[in-house]
Structure 1
Amino acid sequence: MTPYYAVIFTSLRKGNHPEYNRMAQLMENLAQQQPGYKHHESAREEIGITVSYWDSLEAISQWKQQLDHQMAQRLGKSDWYEWYHVRICKVEREYSFGK
């Protein structure tokens, strides 16, 4: 297995904003079009977590610089989140179980 990277985004939202859901869908669609994007997983209860997987640190950096993504980041800080935290990790090994 070739190592790859995970971006772990955890957050607490300020409330329920209809425009947030539209922007989240747009970001999901745009991320999937970015070079180096592999896939993502997400869940939300009180705290949300999204983990996106990327081929390289360069691909992550390019996604961070994408103009629509930058706009979403600004809106997240000003309107949508009480807080968020981003972690970038190198995945060197993986295994799974499923029936």
Structure 2
Amino acid sequence: MMISNTPPPPYYAVIFTSVRTNDNEGYAETDALMSELALQQDGFLGMEHASSEIGITISYWRDVESIKHWKDNLDHQKAQIKGQKTWYSQYKVRIAKVERDYDFLKK
């Protein structure tokens, strides 16, 4: 996975931090589908994942309205319900406005 190539700020970040259960049935397939569907959403800018004891997914969005449309997506809602019932023992969603960013690339 690469670091997302986001546009100049401002833009928004949705930070999804989770603790998984031991039930993994269907998780990988749903995760792949959600990533693919997010790519198709207007206003989606990119996504980054990390996991160990906790999972962290950060998705980047043009504006708050784009985030709302993603939350209202029917397939995404089904995945949220399945996640609450099966895959997650805990999660937290944070929405933040990115006002500044900078990077480094070793050449």
Other structure's SS at 1:62 match: helix
Q: Which residue of 2 aligns with 1:93?
A: 100
Q: Which residue of 1 aligns with 2:43?
A: 36
Q: Which residue of 1 aligns with 2:91?
A: 84
Say whether residues 1:75 and 2:89 are aligned partners.
Answer: no
User: Which structure 2 segments of 5+ residues have no match?
Assistant: 1-7
Deviations 1:67-99 (A, max 9, x none): 000000000100000000000000011001121
Q: Tell me the TM-score normalised to structure 1 length.
A: 0.97
Q: Which runs of 4+ in 1 moved over 2 A?
A: none
Q: Amino acid of the residue matched to residue 94 of structure 1?
A: D
Contact 2:23-2:86 at 8 Å conserved across structures = no
Q: Which residue of 2 aligns with 1:11?
A: 18
Q: CA RMSD in A?
A: 0.8
Identity %: 53
Q: Tell me the TM-score normalised to structure 2 length.
A: 0.90
- Give the Cα–Cα distance (whole angstroms) in 1 for the partners of residues 22 and 67 of structure 2: 28
Bigger proportion of residues as helix? 1
- Give the Cα–Cα distance (whole angstroms) in 2 for the partners of residues 39 and 24 of structure 1: 15
